[in-house]
A and B are shown apart, each in its own frame.
Chain A
Amino acid sequence: GAVVSQHPSRVICKSGTSVKIECRSLDFQATTMFWYRQFPKQSLMLMATSNEGSKATYEQGVEKDKFLINHASLTLSTLTVTSAHPEDSSFYICSASGGAGANVLTFGAGSRLTVL
């Protein structure tokens, strides 16, 4: 079945540092990947849509200079949280479409970011 690998699963960093999260589709090519953010007991919030070879499309209110997204190949998208602050602490989840069936989203395991 379709597998999306996301690393790291947990990261703790100091305020002001940058953190990169990788998302890979292991057994299918993903022209489109999605990045979500989820706070405790809240719903998924779409941050951006990442298309291979082009600039990401960010949702309203998401700072593109803060959350850098790169989709350099059909199997890899990265999210870099630049100059992280404690309010950026959250659960970040990537997903990719098309692996498990037409328009089916497969999620990575998520990355829990804690900024001290």
Chain B
Amino acid sequence: QKEVEQNSGPLSVPEGAIASLNCTYSDRGSQSFFWYRQYSGKSPELIMFIYSNGDKEDGRFTAQLNKASQYVSLLIRDSQPSDSATYLCAVWSGTYKYIFGTGTRLKVLA
């Protein structure tokens, strides 16, 4: 059973702090990794994708991938209350199957 694991949270951070969201996956053949943000009652929206080991930065967001450890993370710098949402980690393993984690709920406290 291919799995993607996330801590459900909630993860609470003060405004302006760095939020660190983590995800592990079981399929070593996974090729593409995604972070989505989902506000309550809305559909997921793409934040970042990463294909290669290392870091990828986009504005306040940094995705980190370590294929040897089967670990992908998302850092949010200067967290804002508007970042409060559920963050979904997703993995694509090359068979048109996207495996989603259950999501981590982030609360940014003003």
A contact residues vs B (CB 8 Å cutoff): 6, 32, 34, 43-44, 46, 49, 91, 93, 97, 100-110, 112
Contact = CB atoms under 8 A, between A and B. Distances in A.
B43 A110 contact: yes
A49 B46 CA distance: 20
A46 B51 CA distance: 23
Given A49-B96, A101-B49, A104-B49, A43 B32 contact: no
Interface size for chain B: under 10, 10 to 19, 20 to 34, or 35 or more residues? 20 to 34
Q: Which of B36, B44, B92: most chain A Cβ within 10 A?
A: B44
Interface in B69-83: none
Contacts of A112: 41
B98 A105 contact: yes
B44 A44 contact: yes
A91 B42 CA distance: 9
A97 B22 CA distance: 24
- The 7 closest A-B CB pairs, nearest first, are A110-B43, A43-B102, A107-B43, A103-B32, A103-B92, A93-B43, A107-B44
Contact of B34 (A34, A105, A108, A110): A105
A32 B45 contact: no
Contact of B46 (A46, A104, A109): A104
Contacts of B42: 109-110
Interface string B45-63: 1100101000000000000
A61 B72 CA distance: 30
B46 to A, nearest CB: 6
